[in-house]
Amino acid sequence: MYRKPALKHHRRRTLIVAFACLSVISLGILASWTVSGSSTSTYTSHDTPETPFSDEDVAPRPHEDDVTTEPSLPSYEVEEYSPYVLGPPTERFRDNLRNDTKYITSWLSAGWNNDVMTYMNLIYLGIITDRVPVVAMFTPSHIGGDAPVMNFGDVFDIKRFIRESGSPLLEWLDVKDPGSDVVEDIGCWNIWESVQYYEHFPRGSSVPDWLKLDIAYTKAPNWVKLIPDYEHDKCSTFWTLARLAYPEDRDKNLGDILPSPLHNTSLDPDEHMLCYDYLYYACASMSSEYDYAYAPTWRYVGQYLHWTEDIQTITTQYVNRVFGLPEDGPMPPYITIHVRHGDFKNWCWAAELPEDCFAPLPVIARRIREVQDELRERKGTDIPMTRVIMTSDETDPAWWDEVAAIGWVKMDHDEQKTVERYGRWHPVILDAAIQSLGLGFVGTDRSTFSILSRRRVLDWHDGAARMVLWGSKGADDH
């Protein structure tokens, strides 16, 4: 099923009312409005610091001579729909695009947190190219291919993002009717073949199938790759990708089109709805940038992508329940651990014995003590071992018994009947939200799941975080 129930969907649309009423003709004006808007969020575990851009960081306020004082509102019920489209979702996406607005989109192809980063990268590329980023749904690649897709806006609060970041954001379901059967042709850039050398086709994704798009691809020039001809890194830089969004370099690199698979059309990359096959590997100046505080994708995008109020509420209830506290009462400060095992065992080549690869629990406990000490010293907050929640993809019951013996609480979605109550996506979404709302966090090095949680704990709560190194015996010794 593509859509959430209509009522819920409608509720989310009405969240857009406030800024839709203020719909203006330039994104710059929108930016200056949203920066002055105040947050209506009702809940945070620890006060979320407001971190609006300084005046220099947002689009400059236009001179009054440049402003059309009466916004030219289209004739439909503007309150119901995003101001970045003409009206309700249409059978064909092109029928809903505004002539005065340019768009940018891209697809997904990995685990959920990789995919969250991919959309963050897309939104950032939209910011630097003055285009409205259009995000599609999350696809269930790692939670079972038969699970439904998840709407971006049912996980992240889009209205809050727009208000607090000053940047636009749009979902595909607001552009094209998810029930439409019309397969549309479009031309996109193929970055994948320019950054890696073992797959000789654009990056695959199920998202275009969901959106009913038949894509002709043009291979991006080799210069989008950060380290040309280097097979061990796949980064393409945001600013080289941005060059393809403007006429000079776009025009020089057209031609050599891979025709679309269904209609066999040969379209150049679209100028109205600019699209790239896969942006997970895009970076500003090096790979794995989300580890670093300077990462523009986090500073300009990720930090403003907060959970929806629904997710926040359920998360609070879960945390309180596992600590045996009143469900709707205040949450105590706590620390979360994310231990990533599962397919990470494929990166254990440096471990002599299989059991040497992942950090044992006492090593993780040492990191917990570091977090406890830092929070005590820096914030005067004492968090006992009994206020530690373990989240993990580990399935071995013996390992979980050891966790319990230390006094850490298991986030047990079987016991909580999470799938039965909320669906297949909620175990992973709630675990991420639980990690992000703690005052402390101990994660697994190189896991995007952990990397995003670390950033959220540091920047949303001024919390303390450590990453456990792994891959060989004693990897986390320090």
Ligand X SMILES: Nc1nc2c(ncn2[C@@H]2O[C@H](COP(=O)(O)OP(=O)(O)O)[C@@H](O)[C@H]2O)c(=O)[nH]1
Site string for ligand X, 120-159 (x = CB under 6 A): ----------------------xx----------------
Tell which residue, 177, 197, 209, has the closest CA to residue 109: 209
Give the burial class of 400: count Cβ atoms within 10 A of its Cβ; 0-12 exposed, 13-18 middle, 19 or more buried: middle
318 touching ligand X, by CB under 6 A: no
d(CA 73, CA 178): 25
Give the burial class of 451: count Cβ atoms within 10 A of its Cβ; 0-12 exposed, 13-18 middle, 19 or more buried: buried
Applying CB under 6 A, which of residues 392, 416, 436, 453 lies at the interface with ligand X?
392
Task: Say if residues 129 and 244 touch (Cβ distance below 8 Å).
Answer: no
Applying CB under 6 A, which of residues 131, 340, 367, 461 lies at the interface with ligand X?
340
266 binds, among Mg ion, ligand X, none (CB under 5 to 8 A by kind): none
214 binds, among ligand X, Mg ion, none (CB under 5 to 8 A by kind): none
Q: Give the DSSP H/E element, type plus range, for residue 115.
A: helix 112-128
Tokens of 164: 């607090």
Q: What are the residues binding Mg ion (CB under 5 A)?
A: 111, 114
Tokens of 24: 């203006």
Give the pairing of strands 257-258 and 213-219: antiparallel
Q: How far is the CB of 374 from ligand X (least distance, A)?
A: 23
Q: Helix, strand, or coil here: 434?
A: helix
Whichever of 114 and 381 has its CB closer to Mg ion, that residue is: 114
Whichever of 189 and 449 has its CB closer to ligand X, that residue is: 449
For residues 417-476, which are near ligand X according to CB under 6 A? 427-428, 431, 447-449
Looking at residue 326, the DSSP 8-state letter turns out to be -
Site string for ligand X, 341-360 (x = CB under 6 A): -x------------------
143 binds, among ligand X, Mg ion, none (CB under 5 to 8 A by kind): ligand X
393 binds, among Mg ion, ligand X, none (CB under 5 to 8 A by kind): ligand X
Whichever of 216 and 388 has its CB closer to ligand X, that residue is: 388
Helical H segments across 230-305, by residue range = 238-243, 247-252, 296-300
Applying CB under 6 A, which of residues 12, 160, 299, 338 lies at the interface with ligand X?
338
Q: Give the DSSP H/E element, type plus range, for residue 160.
A: helix 158-165
Q: Nearest-CB residue to ligand X?
A: 111
Q: How far is the CB of 99 from Mg ion (least distance, A)?
A: 39
Q: How far is the CB of 291 from ligand X (least distance, A)?
A: 12
447 binds, among Mg ion, ligand X, none (CB under 5 to 8 A by kind): ligand X
Whichever of 89 and 111 has its CB closer to Mg ion, that residue is: 111
302-316 CB burial, b ≥16 within 10 A, e <16: bbbbbbbeebbebbb
Whichever of 45 and 109 has its CB closer to Mg ion, that residue is: 109
Tell which residue, 460, 409, 418, has the closest CA to residue 437: 460
Cα–Cα separations (whole angstroms), residue 208 to 138, 211, 216: 12, 5, 12
Site string for ligand X, 104-123 (x = CB under 6 A): ------xxxxx---------
Residues that bind ligand X (CB under 6 A): 110-114, 142-143, 338, 340, 342, 391-393, 427-428, 431, 447-449
